[in-house]
Amino acid sequence: MMQEAFNFGPRPTPTQLGFKPGTQTWNLYERLLQGPVTNAEVVRNMGIFNSTGRASDLRQALKPYLMSVEAKKIKRGLWEYQLR
């Protein structure tokens, strides 16, 4: 028997997650929707100095959607964030 693939539908929008336009969490989620991003990019390109805190906020908001933000260590002090 062949198992059917899961269809979870589209990812929630920042508004559905309760974020206000222009906030750091909104901006980080919008960026993560485009693909993985490092904490260095988040600081330099987005001006978000507490990337760990914003990723934690996103994890909480994404729980009901069975999604999360995964952090993978690249090297000392450099982490990559990705939606899962």
Tens of pLDDT, residues 5-63: 555 678 999 999 999 999 999 999 999 999 999 999 999 999 999 999 999 999 999 99
What residue has token string 């980080």?
28
CA dist 7 and 69 (Å) reads 19
CA dist 63 and 17 (Å) reads 10
> Model-level pTM?
0.87
User: On the CB side of 54, how many CA atoms lie within 13 Å of its CA?
Assistant: 22
**CB atoms inside a 10 Å sphere around CB 25:** 21
Identify the sign of the CA torsion 71, 36, 47, 24: negative
- Does pLDDT of 78 surpass 90? yes
pLDDT at 55: 97
